[in-house]
Amino acid sequence: MIDVKQLLTTDKLWDYKGGVFPKYNKEQSRQLPIQPYWIPPVVRIPVRQHIGQSGHINVTEGERVLKGQLLTEPTHGMAVPVHAPTSGIIESISQGAANHPSGLSELTLTIRSDGNDEWRPRQPYANADELSNDDLLQLIRYAGISGMGGAGFPTEIKLTPVADIKLLLMNGAECEPYISADDTLMQAHANEVVQGILLMARLLDHPVVVIAIEDDKPEAIEAMTQATADYDQIRVRSIPAKYPSGGERQLIQIITGEEVPHSGIPADLGIVVQNVGTAHAVARAVYHDEPLISRVVTLTGQRVLKPANHWVLLGTPIEDLLHHHGLDELSQVIVGGPMMGYQLPKLSGPVIKTTNCLIVPGQNELSSPDNQVPCIRCGSCADACPVNLLPQQLHWYALAEDHEKLSEHNLNDCIECGACAYVCPSEIPLVLEYRQAKAAIRASKQEQLKSERAKQRFESRNLRLEQEKIARAEKHQQAAQARLKAMAEREQQASAPAATDDKKSAVAAALARAKAKKAGAVSAPPKTVVDESGQTIPDNRDVAAQREARKAEARARKAQKAAQAVQDSGATPTELPADSAQQSADVPAADNKAARVAAAVARAKAKRQAQQTQADDSVEQPAANLTEQVTGKPAADDKAARVAAAVAHAKAKRQAQQTQAGDSVEQPVANLTEQVTDKPAADDKAARVAAAVARAKAKRQAQQAENQRSPDATPRSKDQSDS
Amino acid sequence: MNLLSSPFTRQSLKTHELMRMVILCCIPGIAIQWYFFGWGNLIQIMLAVSACWVTEAVILIMRARPVFRITRDSSALLTGVLLGIALPPFLPWWMTVIAAVFAIGVVKHLYGGLGNNLFNPAMAGYVLLLISFPVAMTSWQPVVAQAQHQMGLWDSLNLVFTGFSSDGYSIQQARMTLDGITAATPLDTIKTDLRQGLTLDESQQNPVFGVFAGAGWEWVNLAFLLGGLYLIYRRVISWAIPGGMLLSLFVISGISFAFQPDGAASPMMHLFSGATMLGAFFIATDPVSACTTVKGRWIFGALIGAMVYAIRTWGGYPDAVAFSVLLANMSVMLIDYYCKPRTYGHKERQ
Ligand code: SF4
Ligand code: SF4
């Protein structure tokens, strides 16, 4: 754990391996004040501008909306609403050009502005102390605030503490060349930024706050230092300018010397990282009741005559904005910085919450992709990689599409910062290759999962057919035996005087027959259950029935033997069949007791494990083992199955909480399902457990799939924030 | 619209510039070599470069690749230069051509062209000749000042292309020293002398030795060292490979010298004789066939250093850089595999 107290006093900064020093090109734009916003004739608001889902649209075409009016209702957890940036009429609600590297369109609300810029009634809080923490979170959520530095993670969620947060790290590094949006914002609105920071700190139960700013922004450092002078829990730190120091994980390393564990999140270290722009938005939302409807955007590039920062209404079409600034005949616009930005696929795409920079490059300003030559394994890329990967090996394996080796070389830890491609003398588009490889791996994983499921289905079907065959054969055999026995009985009846005993054995035989019949009947209904997700799951009922049949057969045989014994000895062995019946009655009772004990133990275990939610991975195994143990016991019956169900539920819940942990969870669950369904001892209950697990799984996968569909929504991509 | 991908900006040094920089940094060494050993190596370099370039162009045409664009990377040029520097000055021209064609055609292009070759092309060509024509390949002439017959440019050309100088001297005669014996390289001399039971001191009375290593050779090595240091300074090569190689050669020869000061060549001798510096800074550092991880490069370099020492001391060939480099090339995959750096956020590998 980090020593936060020390962070307030120490002068030590850590360094991370790698990184590059590109030409920053910030000087022109960062000197000028932020220009006021311009009201475009139309604004286009994509309903989704962040990681997560869109809210529910609550306006209709033709409706007049006022500035700041809520356009979508955040109906579920990861939903962030959008607002009207200016007053006007909703012209259309349709698919429109998105501001996204994929070039896909997005459901967009088009508002024709009336030029009045008329606000909805506002109720600002003069004193945020009136607000409870929950109200404050709700307010942030309804203000539509999501991370403004990078990927756009919903701010409210990041501020809802899941762990004991010791450090709030404010990211003002802005390490990407060209961009100076945060820089000028801190210069001009330091006090509001600090207000926002205080609100955030309050929500996180007052951790230590460190504001990290790269040392090429002396004015911003100065302004922030002054604005925080009265707060001894807040410290401004100047860090050396190097790319990508603004990456979340790199910044943590610089300030604390700690690394966020692989597949973990900063909260695991007790750290929350927020962008300074986000803090500003929070302050505006609380003290001015101003939702997130505008942001600072750096307009730069060789073709921009006067690079500067502008307040821009969200939804302003980029093309119109550039025209407004005298730029015609646009061919190419880069959104974001030159290191991690992307080329805008459709120029009519709007400015959104994460758009911090627009570059209109000149003729030869940006490198052309035509000069690529083969990799000479010079290793410059490995020296530059801040995550300590071997980009040259990744390049090699990406070309070979060797997914296994790619994972072995931790492709997933690549933050796509572009440092490797920046230094590559062979001008290989490494980042592009990695993105494609990542996508291919995701796709093939999904494919694999699908085929695995199909295989399982196929195997369970085979098993079922086999079992039916056996059951049928047994039934025939039993019938034959019963007939034989009946014949023998008849003979006996005719010859022997011990009629009462015979009757008893006849009764037993009849019972056995009835049971066998029942067993046969049970095996007839459909052998699979289909759960809500449409997934077919093998039903274990016939397995149980078969077992039952076998038991019945054994009992019948016993009875028969007894009858035989009677016949042979001529004595009166009345006790025997009765005894065995007694026994068979006793056994389940005993089992129940044992099972109940096992269940209690298991529940206790499950509870303990549930408490250890942090210790995620390590829990996985025991839980699975436990299930196995319980279901594996031949003695286990319904109870045991219920225990398994409880365990599985607990697990499912825990996993749902760990949505961040992503893929790693996949395997164990699959195993669990397999274990549960495979055990012959498990019956309906087990099947139900399996169904529950499968449902939980399906849900989670659906969620993941959702995340993946939105290209920048993988949990990983938030790491790239704020560079 | 063909979308570009980030990053949109790149640092300036390009692969072909790197290659040219390496070639430029060879020039001091080549100049000193010319000063001490005459025109022979310049002729060899020209020959090798032309042969390499033509082979490259022909193969690119055969592979239907853009000839002009690819030859621009100058990698064939570099292979030719290194080969020319390493070959004996008066080697018959056709041998040089064989080496060049083999280096480019087989070692480089049969493996898939630039970036895909497992072996250092120049050294593979060199070793091919060394195995096929051991006598010719070990025939270095003495430094010009000690040679019985002075060979001018015209003589040298004749020697290389016809086997006889314009005055009718053969290559063997060109190797005669003032004393009228066939010259041997300093490393050769030491090895032979020590095997014959002479002490190091006795051996070093031989005029092939100079101030601190072999006469002439010491300055050639020094010049390559300087060129190499400049390459490191310009970050064209990393110092891991030369560092590892020179360090291991120094340490191993130092230890054996300390134990038997009269029975082993001194560390200075090892560092500044033969192709040590050329090998350390220009040959072993060929990135394509070397290790690519930082730790791996140290090991790669150290391995070469150790093998150079072993072959020089116990092997049958007088110099060992070429063999050592090729042997180390073979272990690259393995070394790199075990030298993967620890990724951010991951635990140290068990
Ligand atoms: S920097 Fe480029 S050429 Fe050099 S090893 Fe990396 S990918 Fe290959
Ligand atoms: S893009 Fe990925 S591989 Fe390249 S330097 Fe950044 S983290 Fe490393």
The percentage of chain A sitting over the pLDDT mark of 70, rounded to a whole number, equals 68
- Residue carrying structure tokens 């919903």: A154
**Which pLDDT score, from 0 to 100, does residue A331 have?**
80
**Which pLDDT score, from 0 to 100, does residue A212 have?**
94
Strand partners, B177: B147
- Say if residue B297's pLDDT is above 90: yes
- Say if residue A534's pLDDT is above 50: no
- Residues whose CB is less than 8 angstroms from the CB of residue B334 and which lie 6 or more positions away in sequence, other chains included: none
Reported as a single tens digit per residue, the pLDDT across A30-69 is 888 899 999 999 999 998 876 777 778 889 999 999 999 9
- Residue carrying structure tokens 């407004």: A324
- What is the number of domains present in chain A? 2
Is the minimum CB–CB distance between A345 and chain B shorter than 8 Å? yes
The percentage of chain A sitting over the pLDDT mark of 90, rounded to a whole number, equals 30
Judge contact between A193 and A283, C-beta under 8 A: yes
> Quick one: pLDDT band at residue B101, thresholds 50, 70, 90?
very high
Q: Is A633 inside any structural domain?
A: yes
Reported as a single tens digit per residue, the pLDDT across A300-338 is 988 888 889 999 999 999 999 999 988 887 788 999 888
Q: Is A620 inside any structural domain?
A: yes
Domain that holds residue A703: 548-722
Gap from A701 CA to chain B (nearest CA, Å): 25
**Which pLDDT score, from 0 to 100, does residue A87 have?**
93
- DSSP assignment of A666-686 equals HHHHHHHHHHHHH-TT--HHH
Rounded mean pLDDT of A590-600?
58
Reported as a single tens digit per residue, the pLDDT across A625-634 is 444 444 444 4
Reported as a single tens digit per residue, the pLDDT across B310-323 is 998 888 776 789 99
- Closest Cα to atom 2 of ligand 2: A414
Judge contact between A81 and A70, C-beta under 8 A: yes
Rounded mean pLDDT of B9-17?
81
ipTM for the predicted complex = 0.85
- Residue carrying structure tokens 């949109």: B8
Rounded-to-integer distance, Cα A264 and Cα A675, Å: 28
Reported as a single tens digit per residue, the pLDDT across A334-382 is 998 889 888 888 888 999 988 999 999 887 777 766 778 889 888 889 9
Nearest to B167 by CA among B183, B176, B46, B140: B176
Strand partners, A310: A35, A297
CA B105, B110, B112, B117: dihedral to nearest 10 degrees?
-80
Q: Are strands A334-335 and A294-300 parallel, antiparallel or unpaired?
A: unpaired
Nearest to B86 by CA among B340, B249, B320: B320
> Quick one: pLDDT band at residue B346, thresholds 50, 70, 90?
confident
Query: Could you tell me the distance, in angstroms and rounded to a whole number, from the CA of residue B334 to the centre of ligand 1?
Result: 19
Structure tokens at A545: 């029935």
Rounded mean pLDDT of B127-133?
91
Reported as a single tens digit per residue, the pLDDT across A462-473 is 888 898 899 888
Q: Which chain B residues are Cβ-neighbours of A15 within 8 angstroms?
A: none
Q: Is the CB of A428 under 6 A from ligand 2?
A: no
CATH number for the domain spanning A220: value is 3.40.50.11540
> Quick one: pLDDT band at residue A711, thresholds 50, 70, 90?
very low
- DSSP H/E element including A380: helix A380-384
Rounded-to-integer distance, Cα A665 and Cα A327, Å: 50
Which of these ranges, A239-248, A295-304, A581-590, A636-645, has the smallest mean pLDDT?
A581-590
What's the whole-number average pLDDT of chain B?
A: 86
Domain end call among A272, A289, A306:
A289
Q: Is A243 inside any structural domain?
A: yes
- What three-state secondary structure class fits B63? coil
Nearest to A340 by CA among A351, A317, A356: A356
> Quick one: pLDDT band at residue B243, thresholds 50, 70, 90?
very high
- Say if residue A23's pLDDT is above 50: yes
**Which pLDDT score, from 0 to 100, does residue B3 have?**
58
- Closest Cα to atom 8 of ligand 2: A385
- Residue carrying structure tokens 């990542």: A438
Nearest to B283 by CA among B120, B44, B132: B120
Q: Which chain B residues are Cβ-neighbours of A379 within 8 angstroms?
A: 238, 287, 292-294, 297
- Say if residue A292's pLDDT is above 90: yes
Choice between A361 and A674, residue whose per-residue pLDDT is larger: A361
Pocket test for ligand 2, best of A242, A389, A394, A396 (most atoms within 8 A of CB): A389
**Which pLDDT score, from 0 to 100, does residue B13 have?**
80
Q: Is the CB of A393 under 6 A from ligand 1?
A: no
Say whether the peptide bond before residue B7 is cis (omega within 30 degrees of 0): yes
**Which pLDDT score, from 0 to 100, does residue A6 have?**
80
Query: Could you tell me the distance, in angstroms and rounded to a whole number, from the CA of residue B292 to the centre of ligand 1?
Result: 9
Domain end call among A252, A268, A289:
A289
- Residue carrying structure tokens 């090892």: B270
Mutant choice from B78, B334, B344 vs A, greatest count of A C-beta within 10 A:
B344
Which of these ranges, A12-21, A111-120, A620-629, B276-285, has the smallest mean pLDDT?
A620-629
Gap from B314 CA to chain A (nearest CA, Å): 33
Structure tokens at A78: 């990861």
Q: Is A344 inside any structural domain?
A: no
- What three-state secondary structure class fits A26? coil
- Say if residue A535's pLDDT is above 50: no
Rounded-to-integer distance, Cα A279 and Cα A302, Å: 31
Q: Is A457 inside any structural domain?
A: no
Burial of A23 (0-12, 13-18, 19+ CB in 10 A): exposed
Q: What is the DSSP letter of A410?
A: T
Reported as a single tens digit per residue, the pLDDT across A491-517 is 777 665 544 555 555 666 666 666 656
**Which pLDDT score, from 0 to 100, does residue A692 have?**
65
How many of the other CB atoms lie within 10 Å of CB of A620?
Answer: 21
**Which pLDDT score, from 0 to 100, does residue A602 have?**
59
Domain end call among A257, A273, A289:
A289
- Residue carrying structure tokens 């014949």: A487
Query: Could you tell me the distance, in angstroms and rounded to a whole number, from the CA of residue B341 to the centre of ligand 2?
Result: 14
Q: Is the CB of A389 under 6 A from ligand 2?
A: yes
Residue of chain B nearest A364, judged by CA positions: B9
Q: Is A22 inside any structural domain?
A: yes
Structure tokens at B127: 């070793």
**Which pLDDT score, from 0 to 100, does residue A548 have?**
66
Is the minimum CB–CB distance between A362 and chain B shorter than 8 Å? no
Q: Is A580 inside any structural domain?
A: yes
What's the whole-number average pLDDT of chain A?
A: 77
Q: Is A608 inside any structural domain?
A: yes
